[in-house]
């Protein structure tokens, strides 16, 4: 076999990778302010090079310094958007590394290259005036209503440099990851879901074979870090002190109004009623705790009634509330940070995000909501890297609210576990990103040669290109059906295409190589089925004409469209397997406008131009020809396949669907001669090879996936054994 070079194939594969490109300048580490730690310095260099990215770093790891240096080194007008109470803190932090950051409330006030404002003021700024934008505490994207979030995304969609900074998300927090990706212009949330996730009876989950691809994609535009050692750096100076969380349950006599006995909280309204009914006893308990300690305290409240009462009960407490001016809020918070105020009373939504309260190591929650995010952020205002003292937190609840605390603790355990899961899975990819190294999977090849067959492990585009020109008498195969990460994680898989166009761009390497390998005038039988359109992936529910697109593709590749056969399918079996509402009896009686016929299979037949040098003379009867000449083949048993179970992997999203042996047999007997070379570039478990060998043909095929390849090795050996057994009996 002579090798044929595919000049641009490697470039095509590189472009197919779902990785965010680097679009910014490259800077030297020594250009970063020397006050930054080595891990902060390298993150800055990476972020400048990426241009549009996110830094998911836990509290106290220096996100403020990172974003300020990012803006300074880019050297273009930059707008920082932060929670209201964080803006002035950022101005003070910037001065520590010799950078001027101006606080402004509208475009008319802007006089400095780097400006900071709060999220409530963004409508007063012109995005066209800035070359870079930073979202500080960008997890707020998840909390914003859809209209405001979309406005923020639309405002800065043409801004060339975009940076998001927030704490490390959990990998199952699809909303937060999707919102960031969409704001940065990396990928829309719907595209992210359709690419890497699948929706089943348990809701959305990451596809098995998409896991590595998802984490590699995530690492190409974000860095997730809980400690410096996550990226291979020294943790010296970044070891958290001890944290103690005490649940203080106040005994409350009686039951809720309207209940003879307390039977648990039934929903939001029950939670609110209990919280309002127990304000007095909870506030008094918190006041007693604070009176027993003369240090600084933060008191987190959820209701105005709680804030007002606790401020009255604690003589030296000062309240920060929503009705105050931004200046008044900032002055009070700064006074607390400077030690001039002993007890700060406020709400999580006012000071729970982004603030640095390392000056304090005692806090109390006057009640809790079910938001783990709010709880976590409040804790991390004090319990952060740089805190010198152990941190003590009291959660004061009525005994009626014990289940709320249990729910938060359950979420705490789950989220910490998921965050570590994220870090462990992105570490390798992030380390390569920081070093500006190419990320790739290990690609394996192998070959098994037997009596009349060659079976190859590897990429079809490369392996079919090695087949001798004009040597293949017939091809019978089933290409992937536009299904991302169903069977493999690699971009070498034709099915792993983001778009229909990319799928057929990849197919072209195989269809043209197959044309070259096929004898003039001979045929290729391509098995296809129509592809359902999904709302989350395609924006509508309906059908996509995969059959028509495939015909068009092979014609463009130089093949002649020769004909087709429709293969009858059982609609009830298909309904049970796919659970499509378009085939269900319930839909028949509910709304038949959603009903459609079952999806048939098709064998599309293409001919290579030229005169066939060896006429095909099938050994079939006239009656068989009459049956096979029909436009629809009936009587094909859907279970007439090789054993697919032995090739299935745990991460496979679907069972492999081998082509029915009778379908292959009809193609082989009708359109090839004994001794002809039969080819299958998408070999699977070698069903085509099995039929070819048992029908006295030769076979050459390839398969990308190792587990399927190994199953194919066994099936080809069985075919030879079956053939020999038949010869013996003959």
Please tell me which residue, 79 or 540, carries the higher pLDDT value: 79
Spatial CA neighbour of 485 closest among 224, 685, 215: 215
621 pLDDT higher than 90: yes
**For 405, how many CA atoms within 13 A lie in the half-sphere containing its CB?**
18
Percent of the chain with pLDDT over 70: 93
User: Whole-number mean pLDDT of the chain?
Assistant: 89
Which pLDDT band holds residue 339 (cuts at 50, 70, 90)? Answer: very high
Res. 40: pLDDT tops 70? yes
Spatial distance between the Cα atoms of 167 and 224, rounded to a whole number of angstroms: 8
Query: CB atoms < 10 A from the CB of 228, how many?
Result: 21
Name the 3-class secondary structure at 686.
coil
Q: Tokens standing for 559?
A: 């093949």
Question: How many whole angstroms separate alpha carbon 674 and alpha carbon 620?
Answer: 13
User: Strands (DSSP E) along 83-195, which ranges?
Assistant: 102-103, 114-118, 132-136, 161-166
| Confidence tier at 652 by pLDDT (50, 70, 90) | low
- The pLDDT value recorded for residue 167 is 82
What's residue 570's pLDDT?
Answer: 84
pLDDT of 5 reads 45
- Within 10 Å of residue 489's Cβ, how many Cβ atoms? 19
Structure-block tokens of residue 209: 């074979």
**What pLDDT does residue 596 have?**
87
Q: Quick one: average pLDDT of 292-319?
A: 95
Residue 1, pLDDT > 70, answer no
Rounded-to-integer distance, Cα 544 and Cα 722, Å: 41
Q: How confident is the model at residue 646 (pLDDT cuts 50, 70, 90)?
A: low
Q: What is the pLDDT of residue 264?
A: 62
More confident residue, 88 or 316: 316
CA 314, 320, 322, 325 torsion: positive or negative? positive
pLDDT in tens, 59-91: 889 999 999 999 999 999 999 999 877 888 899
Mean pLDDT check: name the lowest of 255-259, 271-275, 365-369, 531-535.
255-259
Candidates 3.30.70.20, 3.30.70.100, 2.60.40.10, 3.40.50.300; correct CATH number of 243-414?
A: 3.40.50.300
Superfamily for domain range 19-231: Tandem AAA-ATPase domain (3.40.50.10810)
3-state helix/strand/coil string of 58-123: CCCCCHHHHHHHHHHHHCCCEEEEECCCCHHHHHHHHHHCCCCCEECCCHHHCCCCEEEEEHHHHH
Predicted local confidence at residue 262, as pLDDT = 52
Share of the chain above pLDDT 90, in %: 60
User: Does the pLDDT value for residue 588 go beyond 90?
Assistant: no
Is the pLDDT at 641 greater than 80? The verdict is yes
The two domains 19-231 and 446-729 share their CATH topology (first three levels equal): yes
Q: What ranges do the domains of the chain cover?
A: 19-231, 243-414, 446-729
Instruction: Give which of 685, 677, 674 is closest to 719, Cα–Cα.
Output: 685
Asked whether residue 644 carries a pLDDT value surpassing 80, the answer given is no
List 78's β-bridge partners, or say none: 114, 132
116-156 per-position pLDDT tens digit: 998 889 999 999 999 999 999 888 777 666 777 888 899 99
Q: What is the mean pLDDT of residues 29-33?
A: 96
pLDDT category at 683 given cuts 50, 70, 90 is very high
Position with higher pLDDT, 438 vs 244? 244
Backbone phi and psi for residue 200, each to the nearest 5 degrees, phi listed first: -130, -160
Task: Read off the pLDDT band of 583 (50, 70, 90).
Answer: confident
What integer pLDDT is reported at residue 563 of this predicted model?
97
Q: Are the beta carbons of 376 and 355 closer than 8 angstroms?
A: no
Q: How many CB atoms lie within 10 A of CB 293?
A: 11
- What per-residue confidence (pLDDT) applies to 164? 95
Give the mean model confidence (pLDDT) for residues 17-24. Answer: 87
Which pLDDT belongs to residue 25? 94
In this prediction, residue 373 carries a pLDDT of 84
Between 689 and 7, residue with greater pLDDT = 689
pLDDT value at residue 2: 36
pLDDT-derived band at 440 (thresholds 50, 70, 90) equals: low
| Beta strands 78-82; 114-118: pairing state | parallel
Residue 616 has pLDDT above 90, yes or no: yes
563-569 mean pLDDT: 94
With vertex at residue 512, the alpha carbon angle to CA 509 and CA 516, rounded to the nearest 5 degrees, is 130
Indicate the DSSP class of residue 112: S
Q: Which two tokens stand for residue 441?
A: 């999977």
Whether the Cβ atoms of residue 163 and residue 48 lie closer than 8 Å to each other: no
Contact by Cβ (8 Å): 346, 301: yes
Nearest to 699 by CA among 671, 680, 673, 713: 680
Does the pLDDT value for residue 261 go beyond 60? no
CB neighbours (10 Å) of residue 593? 7
**Mean pLDDT, rounded, for 641-657:** 64
3-state secondary structure of 2: coil
Cβ atoms within 10 Å of 342's Cβ, excluding its own? 18
Give pLDDT, residue 420: 84
**Can you give the pTM of this predicted structure?**
0.77
Fold of 446-729: Rossmann fold (3.40.50)
Q: Tell me, what's the pLDDT at 148?
A: 77
User: Who wins on pLDDT, 25 or 19?
Assistant: 25
* CA 335 centroid distance within chain: 43
| Pairwise CA distance, residues 432 & 677, whole Å | 45
Alpha-carbon span 551 to 563, nearest angstrom: 10
Residue 654: band (very low, low, confident or very high) from pLDDT cuts 50, 70, 90: low
Least confident of 168-172, 224-228, 273-277: 168-172
Residue 471's alpha-carbon distances to 5, 315, 466, 475, 559, in angstroms, are: 18, 94, 11, 11, 16
pLDDT tens digits, 355-405: 899 999 999 999 998 888 889 989 999 999 889 999 999 999 998 888 899
Q: What is the pLDDT of residues 175-208, one digit of tens each?
A: 888 889 999 999 988 888 888 888 777 778 888 8
Q: What is the per-residue pLDDT for 260?
A: 44
């Amino acid at each position: 076999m002579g090798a044929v070079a595919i000049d641009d194939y490697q470039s095509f594969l590189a472009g197919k990778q779902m990785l965010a490109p680097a679009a910014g300048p490259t800077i030297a580490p020594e250009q970063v302010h020397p006050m930054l730690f080595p891990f902060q310095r390298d993150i800055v260099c990476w972020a400048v090079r990426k241009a549009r990215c996110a830094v998911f770093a836990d509290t106290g790891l220096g996100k403020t310094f990172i974003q300020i240096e990012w803006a300074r080194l880019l050297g273009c007008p930059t707008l920082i958007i932060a929670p209201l109470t964080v803006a002035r803190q950022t101005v003070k932090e910037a001065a520590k590394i010799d950078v001027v950051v101006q606080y402004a409330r509208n475009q008319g006030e802007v006089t400095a290259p780097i400006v900071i404002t709060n999220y409530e003021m963004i409508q007063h700024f012109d995005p066209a005036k800035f070359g870079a934008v930073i979202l500080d505490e960008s997890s707020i994207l998840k909390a914003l209503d859809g209209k405001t979030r979309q406005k923020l995304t639309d405002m800065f969609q043409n801004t060339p440099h975009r940076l998001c900074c927030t704490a490390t998300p959990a990998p199952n927090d699809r909303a937060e990851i999707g919102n960031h990706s969409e704001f940065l212009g990396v990928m829309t949330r719907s595209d992210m879901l359709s690419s890497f996730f699948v929706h089943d009876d348990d809701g959305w989950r990451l596809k098995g074979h998409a896991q590595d691809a998802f984490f590699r994609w995530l690492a190409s535009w974000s860095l997730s870090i809980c400690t410096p050692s996550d990226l291979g750096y020294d943790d010296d100076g970044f070891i958290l002190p001890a944290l103690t969380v005490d649940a203080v349950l106040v005994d409350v006599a009686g039951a809720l109004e309207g209940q003879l006995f307390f039977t648990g909280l039934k929903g939001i309204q029950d939670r609110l009623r209990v919280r309002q009914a127990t304000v007095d006893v909870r506030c008094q308990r918190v006041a007693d705790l604070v009176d027993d300690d003369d240090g600084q305290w933060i008191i987190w409240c959820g209701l105005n009634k709680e804030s007002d009462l606790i401020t009255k009960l604690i003589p030296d407490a000062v309240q920060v509330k929503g009705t105050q001016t931004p200046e008044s809020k900032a002055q009070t918070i700064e006074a607390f940070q400077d030690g001039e105020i002993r007890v700060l009373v406020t709400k999580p939504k006012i000071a729970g995000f982004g603030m640095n309260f390392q000056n304090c190591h005692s806090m109390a929650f006057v009640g809790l909501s079910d938001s783990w995010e709010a709880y976590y952020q409040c804790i991390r205002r004090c319990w952060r890297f740089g805190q010198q003292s152990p941190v003590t937190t009291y959660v004061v609840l009525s005994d009626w609210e014990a289940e709320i605390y249990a729910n938060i603790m359950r979420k705490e355990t789950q989220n910490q576990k998921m965050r570590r899961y994220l870090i462990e899975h992105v570490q390798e990819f992030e380390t390569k990103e920081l070093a500006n190294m190419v990320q790739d999977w290990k690609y394996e090849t192998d070959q098994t040669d037997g009596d009349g067959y060659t079976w190859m492990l590897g990429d079809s585009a490369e392996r079919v290109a090695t087949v001798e020109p004009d040597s293949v008498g017939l091809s019978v195969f089933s290409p992937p059906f536009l299904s991302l990460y169903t069977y493999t994680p690699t971009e070498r898989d034709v099915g792993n295409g983001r778009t229909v166009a990319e799928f057929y761009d990849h197919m072209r390497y195989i269809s043209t190589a197959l044309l070259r390998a096929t004898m003039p005038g001979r045929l290729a039988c391509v098995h296809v089925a129509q592809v359902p359109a999904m709302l989350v992936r395609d924006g509508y529910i309906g059908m996509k004409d995969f059959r028509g697109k495939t015909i068009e593709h092979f014609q463009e590749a130089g093949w002649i469209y020769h004909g087709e056969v429709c293969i009858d399918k059982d609609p009830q079996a298909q309904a049970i397997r796919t659970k499509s509402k378009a085939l269900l009896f319930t839909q028949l009686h509910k709304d038949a406008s959603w009903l459609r016929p079952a999806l048939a299979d098709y064998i599309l037949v293409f001919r290579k131009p030229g005169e066939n040098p060896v006429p095909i003379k099938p050994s079939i009867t006239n009656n068989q020809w009459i049956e096979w000449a029909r436009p629809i083949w009936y009587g094909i048993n859907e279970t007439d396949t090789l054993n697919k179970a032995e090739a299935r992997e745990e991460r496979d999203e679907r069972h492999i669907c081998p082509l029915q042996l009778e379908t292959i047999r009809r193609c082989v007997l009708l359109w090839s001669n004994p001794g002809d070379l039969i080819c299958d570039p998408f070999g699977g478990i070698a069903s085509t090879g099995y039929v070819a060998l048992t029908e006295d043909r030769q076979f050459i095929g390839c398969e990308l996936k190792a587990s399927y390849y190994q199953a194919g090795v066994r099936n080809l050996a069985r075919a030879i054994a079956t053939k020999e057994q038949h010869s013996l009996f003959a």
